[in-house]
Structure 1
Amino acid sequence: MGNPWLCQPALLGEYLGLTKQWESDLHLIAHLWEHLGMEDTLAPWQQLVGTFAIAVYDRDRQTLTLGRDPAGGQTLYYTTDGATRWIAPRMRSLLPHHHREMDEIALRDYLCCAFVPGERTLWKGVRKLLPGTTLQLPSDQIQPYWTLQEQIVGATEPIEWHSQRLRHLLEETVKDALPNHEPVGCFLSGGIDSSCVTALARQLHNAPVHTFSIHFGKPYPNELEFSSLVAQHCQTHHHILEISLSDLWAFLPEAMVHLDNPIGDPLTVPNLLLGRVAKQFVNVALNGEGGDPCFGGPKNQPMLIQSVYGSFNQQDAVHAYLVSFQKCATDLPQLLKPEIWQAIRSEPYYLEGWLNSDLHYSVFHSGEA
């Protein structure tokens, strides 16, 4: 579904023993299934490195297996009601095929997190396949083929050793994402994450690097001083986009149309407009998203405080985590109708199954969960 992208197709081709060039990444994936067969249902998925949402049909067993890449770079939705199941990479495509009944638990979770975590969507009859997971139909068997593992490496090594290892991993990740023989873009705020990605892209790429930054006009604070310094240091083709408040309101409906599940991120509209500008110059754009959760960002701090002082404030880990989003977790009784709140208030949160272990890891390993 969509266009799968493999970051190391040559290595996979070598693994499969292919001697001639394949037409596309999709053809290479088809060769993988032909090579490994269908007996081991997880083995082919574990060989794929990239972004994809794929459906594989086994004619002999009359089964359809859906799979999604471990990073969740592409989405895959499916209906859960009725004898016929419908699947699509965009949730809007499924509108004619379910009852359009709102999932009240998903609504609660969205009000807490500004997104819907887990496999739920705001529609009760539609689920999303989680990253690194397969779903086999018609048995409805869900299996993860990849999970994030806690691995403590070099516990006795000095900080310099860890910094060199991190640098190597960042270089390999950026290198894998660079397009061949064409310009690449970087969304540059001037912060540590996007600046690191920009510097590595400039160092590793053999084609021009374009950087893109935004601001909201003179009356409002901005980070152009820092992003311009990085762009100048890295000698990129730098582009600055000014977005007015009227632009935010004017393009909000369009941004909402492009979202399957709503995202309460104030940068949703700016990212849409920045992407539109970037498209004029590049086909691939990198950014620094995701750095905060990996390196002890703002969500980790209240959980750390709760772990140390929880006995004093009588706050459990789940509540501490939800409050850290600074959304509506404490206002649910006022926001929801009384009958809805009573019906869902005791329903478990998706994050309860893994939060305690991740919190433990965050506390004792510098937030690198």
Structure 2
Amino acid sequence: MCGIYGAIGPYSSEEVEAKLKLTQFRGPDFYGYKAINLPNGRKLSLAHNRLSILDLDQRSHQPFTYNEGGITVVYNGEIYNYNTIKNKLVSAGYKFKTTSDTEVICAAYLEYGYSCVKKFNGMFAFVIYDQEKQILFGSRDRLGQKPFYYSITEGGFEFASQLSSIQLYNKGLSISKRAIREYLSWGVIPDTLSIFNEVEKLRAGHYFVYSITSGDFEVEPFWDIDVSGKSKFSGSYLDAKQELEEILTDAVKIRLVADVPVGVFLSGGVDSSLVAALATKTTNDKIQTFSVKFSEKGFDESVYAQEVANHIQTDHHIINCNPKEGIDLIENFTSFYDEPFSDSSAIPSMLLAKYTRKHVTVALSGDGGDESFLGYHRYNWVTYLTKIYGLPKFLRLFGAGVLNLAPNYRLKIISETIKNKSLNEAYLSTMFNTNPSWMEPNNSTSEFEELKYLFHKNKNVYERVSDFDIKTYLNWDINTKVDRATMAYSLEARAPLMDYRVVDFARSLPTDFKFLKGNQKRILKDILYAHAPKEIFDRPKAGFTMPFKEWFKKDLKDFILSELNENELAIIPGIDVEEVSKMIDQHMKGTWNRYSLIWKLLVLKQWLKNNGKGITIK
């Protein structure tokens, strides 16, 4: 895991070095820089911050040049099947001087061309300079685990792992009003947008080709979810369980390969427990596991994580999280999440990474299981929505009106949800804020390509919402959260459940293999129960969340009221300050849980205050 940067533009070597130093936490082991003189008289700068994981020798430092200077690459991530690819390339006559996956990327590009990315099983963002063709070829992994920002200007091209590197010394940036609107709705800035109008994110599962001579830029997909629903598993449930366990076991095994210590994040839930259990089965080494403990009732699952750790015999570490440490992370939040991002579980994720890094350099996680195997609470809510939308319209709207009269705010939220015209739109409203009372009412989701995964009739509603969440929530939110939280402390996170073979296999399974009569993640649980007692997991899903609801009313109340008073709120465009102030007051009085809104506004205000001075918003 590393940080990459590159530019065809006016920056000096000192300026490039300063850009990389902003994100040195992504790769503190080595800083590499190479200036390449181009035939048109311009200069290509390539730079890299290295977190050494494979082949710790300096021979694998980047920028890495292959084939006597014909190919140069900067690369962030891991190719887990690189040895398999390497063996085939050796048979084809290629020679290797390192034991790193970086060199394999270069040789695979020479052998397979743009199709090389289809052969990579991993998480990655890379750019190759092809001297002969005078192009830059780059790609981002299938699920967007690794970030990639880029900016195209007249005669110039700039890219980076994090937005702050592009922002530094760049006088041509303006803050995007649309990005702010989308952030206020989604809580994240969706791909391909960034907070700046002039910078975009490369879509997950895509590659690009930039012509240095003409300035032409083309983007093409190399992987996608099967929207047609034609890829269907034809075997029995037992067949599926056996095949999935084999895929999962290999997915875990190849992610344990490293030349540095490896551990596992263990929350005590199904996904992380399964990853930890399979890790102990695929190595003779004692696995170290890590979890976060909160003192607040209903948020502490560390006791369950300890039970799992005791059963599978790991060396377990419990990290305590308290409001004071939470404030410290909140105040420095925008240094690592360098555009607005409001998933509050980023805070415990950062805390977990901070302390895990003291013991290991790589940590496996259970991320990706909920989306592929229907594990979120909202998938149960889909069951109720299906029944509600099966009623005559007048009955549904009458019920919505009755619920809206109730004093309980949760019932009012349900009322607003079932007023939507269709079940698809009702589900979308659970992910996308459409409340017109406190923000500009002209938000629209119509421009997002990802809506095609939800609004079609080729699959049942459970499969559609699962596909949609993989392409949106998992990509835009979860992967951003994990990448920034772990990289903030130079820790590499690997997610076996996001192995594309697992995702593709899950997409092919009948829905009832994953979700049957309220039994969510059915097939994952049945695999897990062969390794750990079912009784440990016989409890409601808690999720990895912060006790912000209580902290904002108690320990952090003065902090919140100071940071989000009317004068501070006034710097946020597109909101009704008076209405927002009323909603914050509702939270402090305990009449409505507004913690997600408060956190969203706090992050945006801090970002604008730290980054928005002198920059036009348009």
TM-score, shorter chain, exceeding 0.5: yes
Q: How does 1:1-369 map to 2 (within 5 A)?
A: 1-17=74-90, 18=94, 22-36=98-112, 38=113, 42-95=114-167, 96-97=169-170, 99-137=172-210, 138-149=215-226, 150=229, 152-155=231-234, 157-180=235-258, 183-217=261-295, 221-296=299-374, 297-303=376-382, 305-306=384-385, 309-310=388-389, 312=396, 313=418, 314-316=420-422, 319-325=425-431, 329-331=433-435, 333-337=436-440, 341-342=441-442, 344-345=443-444, 348-357=447-456, 360-363=459-462, 365-366=510-511
Equivalent-residue separation in structure 2 for 1:117 and 1:346 (angstroms) = 10
Q: Is the 8 A contact 2:272 2:365 kept in 1?
A: yes
Equivalent-residue separation in structure 1 for 2:387 and 2:138 (angstroms) = 42
Q: Is the 8 A contact 1:184 1:208 kept in 2?
A: no
Query: Which amino acid in 2 is paired with 1:9?
Result: Y
For residue 141 of structure 1, give the secondary structure of its aligned residue in structure 2.
Answer: strand
Q: Is the 8 A contact 1:105 1:347 kept in 2?
A: no
- Bigger drift between 112-121 and 125-134 goes to 112-121
Q: Deviations over 1:65-90 (max 9, x none)?
A: 22112132221111144432211111
Percent identity between the aligned chains? 24
Per-residue deviation, 1:315: 2.8
Query: Which amino acid in 1 is paired with 2:150?
Result: Y
Q: Is the 8 A contact 1:56 1:64 kept in 2?
A: yes
Equivalent-residue separation in structure 1 for 2:75 and 2:96 (angstroms) = 25
Equivalent-residue separation in structure 2 for 1:182 and 1:54 (angstroms) = 22
Per-residue deviation, 1:120: 1.0
TM-score by length of 2: 0.53
Kindly tell me: are residues 261 and 308 of structure 1, through their superposed partners in 2, closer, same or farther at Cα, counting changes over 3 Å? Answer: farther
Kindly tell me: are residues 232 and 182 of structure 1, through their superposed partners in 2, closer, same or farther at Cα, counting changes over 3 Å? Answer: farther
Per-residue deviation, 1:104: 2.7
Equivalent-residue separation in structure 2 for 1:122 and 1:2 (angstroms) = 24
- Bigger drift between 84-93 and 42-51 goes to 42-51
Per-residue deviation, 1:151: 5.8
For residue 5 of structure 1, give the secondary structure of its aligned residue in structure 2.
Answer: strand
Kindly tell me: are residues 57 and 213 of structure 1, through their superposed partners in 2, closer, same or farther at Cα, counting changes over 3 Å? Answer: same
Query: Which amino acid in 2 is paired with 1:143?
Result: E
Q: Deviations over 1:42-96 (max 9, x none)?
A: 3222222222211123334432222112132221111144432211111111113
Q: Is the 8 A contact 2:260 2:362 kept in 1?
A: no
Equivalent-residue separation in structure 1 for 2:350 and 2:98 (angstroms) = 34
Kindly tell me: are residues 113 and 317 of structure 1, through their superposed partners in 2, closer, same or farther at Cα, counting changes over 3 Å? Answer: farther
Kindly tell me: are residues 335 and 358 of structure 1, through their superposed partners in 2, closer, same or farther at Cα, counting changes over 3 Å? Answer: farther
Kindly tell me: are residues 305 and 158 of structure 1, through their superposed partners in 2, closer, same or farther at Cα, counting changes over 3 Å? Answer: same
Per-residue deviation, 1:305: 4.8
Equivalent-residue separation in structure 2 for 1:358 and 1:196 (angstroms) = 33
Per-residue deviation, 1:121: 1.3
Structure 1 unaligned residues grouped into runs of 5+: none
- Bigger drift between 64-73 and 7-16 goes to 64-73
Q: Is the 8 A contact 2:96 2:103 kept in 1?
A: no
Q: Is the 8 A contact 1:132 1:147 kept in 2?
A: yes
For residue 319 of structure 1, give the secondary structure of its aligned residue in structure 2.
Answer: helix
Query: Which amino acid in 2 is paired with 1:34?
Result: L
Q: Is the 8 A contact 2:192 2:203 kept in 1?
A: yes
Equivalent-residue separation in structure 2 for 1:318 and 1:109 (angstroms) = 19
Per-residue deviation, 1:200: 0.6
Per-residue deviation, 1:180: 4.2
> Which structure: larger Rg?
2
Equivalent-residue separation in structure 2 for 1:259 and 1:287 (angstroms) = 20
Equivalent-residue separation in structure 2 for 1:128 and 1:221 (angstroms) = 34
Q: Is the 8 A contact 2:149 2:161 kept in 1?
A: yes
Equivalent-residue separation in structure 1 for 2:207 and 2:96 (angstroms) = 30
Q: Is the 8 A contact 1:98 1:125 kept in 2?
A: no
Kindly tell me: are residues 141 and 305 of structure 1, through their superposed partners in 2, closer, same or farther at Cα, counting changes over 3 Å? Answer: farther
Equivalent-residue separation in structure 1 for 2:117 and 2:283 (angstroms) = 29
Equivalent-residue separation in structure 2 for 1:193 and 1:104 (angstroms) = 38
Per-residue deviation, 1:2: 4.3
For residue 300 of structure 2, give the secondary structure of its aligned residue in structure 1.
Answer: coil
RMSD, aligned α-carbons: 2.7
Equivalent-residue separation in structure 2 for 1:244 and 1:359 (angstroms) = 47
For residue 85 of structure 1, give the secondary structure of its aligned residue in structure 2.
Answer: strand
Equivalent-residue separation in structure 2 for 1:142 and 1:181 (angstroms) = 34
Kindly tell me: are residues 244 and 173 of structure 1, through their superposed partners in 2, closer, same or farther at Cα, counting changes over 3 Å? Answer: same
For residue 330 of structure 1, give the secondary structure of its aligned residue in structure 2.
Answer: coil
